[in-house]
Amino acid sequence: MADRGPAPDAPVAGDPLVGDLRRAGLLPLLVLHYLALEDCYGNQLMDRIAALTGGALAVNPNTMYPLLRHLEAQGLAEGSWEHPERRSKRYYRITDAGRAEHRRLRAELGPRLDRIAGSIDAIRREVLE
């Protein structure tokens, strides 16, 4: 049987959401974005990112929780336990420094996201309409 490659909706190594854009700070941008909206916990953030990207940007606990600890260490987010007397959900909220970083990442990544979206729209118009 011939290899048909990855499933049509599976992310591939060259996918801009998985590769270059992710390295450029897309994941911290998304996390800070959601924290700017409301306090969130790690699994909630993973679910929101997966839903937003249709699974194109898969985030697992081995990525999310170190990122959240890093954001805390950098003073960009603060975490607190839902029930401090025992380990429970740890909710994170954005700090003022986190809001500034969120603005910086938006300004830096916005043009790249616009360029990718424009390219995808052009391709769709050319081959699908």
Per residue in 31-86, pLDDT (tens digit) is: 999 999 999 999 999 999 999 988 888 889 999 999 999 999 999 999 999 888 88
Q: In what order do the strands lie in the sheet with 40-41?
A: 40-41, 90-94, 77-81
Across the strands, what pairs with 78?
93
**Does residue 53 contact residue 34 with C-beta atoms inside 8 Å?**
no
Residue 49's Cβ-side half-sphere holds a number of Cα atoms within 13 Å equal to 28
Classify strands 77-81 and 90-94 as parallel, antiparallel or unpaired: antiparallel
Q: Which pTM value belongs to this model? A: 0.81
**Does residue 77 contact residue 68 with C-beta atoms inside 8 Å?**
yes
Q: What is the pLDDT of residue 18?
A: 60
Least confident interval from 62-76, 88-102, 109-123: 109-123
Q: What angle do CA 43, 28, 83 make, to 5 degrees?
A: 35
Q: What is the DSSP secondary structure assignment for residue 77, as one 8-state letter?
A: E
The C-alpha R_g of the chain, in whole angstroms, comes to: 17
Across the strands, what pairs with 90?
81
